[in-house]
Amino acid sequence: MTVITAPMDFNEDELYVDLNPITGHSLYLKCEGFNFAGSVKLKAATEMVEAAEWEGTLKPGAILIESSSGNLGIALSIIAASKGYGFLCVTDSRCNLSARRTMEALGSQVHIISEPSPDGGLLGARIAYVKALCATDERYVWLNQYTNQDNWKAHYRWTAPAIARHFPHLDTLFIGTGTTGTLMGCARYFQQLHRKVRIVAVDTVGSVTFGSKPARRMIPGLGTSVRPALLDDSCVDEIIHVEEADTIRACHRLARHGYLFGGSTGTVVSGALNWLTERTDPDLTAVAIAPDLGERYLDTIYQTNWLHDLYGEDVLHPDSPVADLRPA
């Protein structure tokens, strides 16, 4: 029996889905969404808050403020509610309505940015708003997930060791890239082990993280319009870019097998399966990190009108590329 006294105390860290029966590829999906925040972001949020408390930056009466597309905002809302802090999440119009409502239900405030900055897009505008607000009131504490070293340290301490423990002969690890905290923490851990594990970063088309040109991105979570300060390219062996339409198809195919995952997970799975399709090694051991679950995407990725308006009526047509995750 598990008994907790704070919502941050529970996180299922040892659940994997074997995707071989669905896809025909040897790929294990590490599920990070089974906690009260519903995503991998609870780890980073907890690590950053506890470090700020230990350093004396975060004190009683403080108001946390953070730029987030949704998942970190929910994680911080839970922590703030549990610890008695205020929290203001600065997001933009791509944030799912259910994520906004969840944060508000937990007592947080949500501010939505609608106009992108000329050189930093919506993310740049969000960060500018946070900085301006912090300058007006010393009660605001910005953890800044984009530069905070405790972001990646959370995954160095928890996520990567959990994977290494269960997969001592791991060959390849697929990790989605947003702030790159999960990517950097896991990559540095396996480097420190002196055990060769191929680190494959999975990004979304339209993200500038690895130097690509910016383009429209409608699914929150992965990708950036400003290069992440945490990123160290030398830690990454390969990079895969996934079209949002392929993210959607991956999510729907998994759902038809009973697994309702979020957009970030769909992106990682699509990229991993495309990569594995080009390999012929049947003994290769591969793991992909699934950052989130799908309930928050019911009004977007799993909503027909939203899909057709943005991606066309054929986005889920059986003849569409990657519509079926099983190899031909």
Residue 268 has φ and ψ, to the nearest 5°, of -65, -45
What integer pLDDT is reported at residue 323 of this predicted model? 44
> Domain range holding 19?
7-34+149-306
What integer pLDDT is reported at residue 282 of this predicted model? 76
CB of 114 closer than 8 Å to CB of 216: no
325 vs 102, more confident: 102
Number of neighbours of residue 105 by Cβ within 10 angstroms: 11
Return the CATH number at 121: 3.40.50.1100
Query: What's the rounded Cα separation, in Å, for the pair 204 and 250?
Result: 13
Please list, in sequence order, all residues whose beta carbon lies within 8 angstroms of the beta carbon of residue 181, skipping any fewer than 6 positions away: 44, 145, 151, 152, 154, 155, 230
DSSP classification of residue 220: -
- Examine the pLDDT at 43 and tell me if it is beyond 70: yes
pLDDT in tens, 205-243: 999 999 898 888 988 889 888 899 999 999 999 999 999
Domain boundary among 142, 170, 200: 142
Domain co-membership, 63 together with 190: no
pTM for the structure as a whole: 0.93
Which string of b and e fits 138-151 if b means at least 16 CB within 10 Å?
A: eebbbbbbbebebb
pLDDT in tens, 249-279: 999 999 999 999 999 999 999 999 999 999 8
Domain co-membership, 228 together with 269: yes
Domain co-membership, 23 together with 154: yes
Domain co-membership, 129 together with 231: no
